[in-house]
Chains A and B, each alone.
Chain A
Amino acid sequence: MAVLIDLVLLAMLAITALRVIFLKDLFAVVMLFGIYSLLSALIFINLDAVDVAFTEAAVGAGISTVLMLSTLALTGRTEKESRRSSVLPLLVVVATGAALIYGTLDMPPFGAADNPIHQHVAPRYIEESPKEVGMPNMVTSVLASYRGFDTFGETVVVFAAAIGVLSLLGVARRREEDGAPDSGLKESDLKESGFKGHKVLRVVAKLIIPLTILFALYVQFHGDFGPGGGFQAGVIVAAAFILYALVFSLSHALRVVSPKFLQVLASLGVLLYASVGIYSMLKGGNFLDYNKLAADPLAGQHYGIIIIELGVGITVFAVMLNIFYAFASQVERSNIK
Chain B
Amino acid sequence: MLVLDIVSSILLFAGVFFGLTGAVGLFRFPDFFTRVHAASITDSIAVILIISGLLLQTAFDLNTAKLLFILLFLMITSPTASHALAKSARHGGLLTLGESKQQKQQMQQKEAGQ
Are A200 and B76 in contact, CB atoms less than 8 angstroms apart? no
Stretch of B23-31, B44-52, B80-88, B96-104 contacting A (4+ beta carbons < 8 Å): B80-88
CB contacts (< 8 Å) of B84 on chain A: these are 198, 200-201
| Interface pair A204/B87, CB less than 8 Å apart | no
Cβ-based interface call for B108 (8 A): no
Contacts of B77 in A (CB 8 A): 204, 208
Cross-interface CB contact of B80 among A197, A204, A211, cutoff 8 Å: A204
Q: Would you call B87 and A198 a contact (CB within 8 A)? A: yes
Which chain A positions have C-beta within 8 A of B91? 197
In which size bucket is the chain A interface? Answer: under 10
Does more than half of chain B's interface fall in helix, strand or loop, or is it mixed?
helix
Min CB distance, A194 to chain B, in Å?
Answer: 13
Please indicate the chain B residues that have their CB under 8 angstroms from the CB of A99 in the complex. none
Q: For residue B80, which residues in chain A have a CB less than 8 angstroms away from its CB? A: 200-201, 204
Q: For the complex formed, measure the closest distance between the CB of B44 and the CB atoms of chain A, giving whole angstroms.
A: 15
Least CB distance, B80 to chain A, in whole angstroms = 4
Q: Does A207 contact B (CB under 8 A)?
A: yes
What B residues does A197 contact at CB under 8 A? Answer: 87, 91
3 A-B pairs with the lowest CB-CB distances in the bound complex, closest first: A204-B80, A200-B83, A201-B84
> Other than the known A198-B84, A201-B80, A204-B76, what 15 A-B pairs have Cβ atoms closer than 8 Å?
A197-B87, A197-B91, A198-B87, A200-B80, A200-B83, A200-B84, A200-B87, A201-B83, A201-B84, A204-B77, A204-B80, A208-B73, A208-B76, A208-B77, A211-B73
Between-chain CB contacts (< 8 Å), 5 pairs: A200-B83, A200-B87, A201-B80, A204-B77, A208-B73
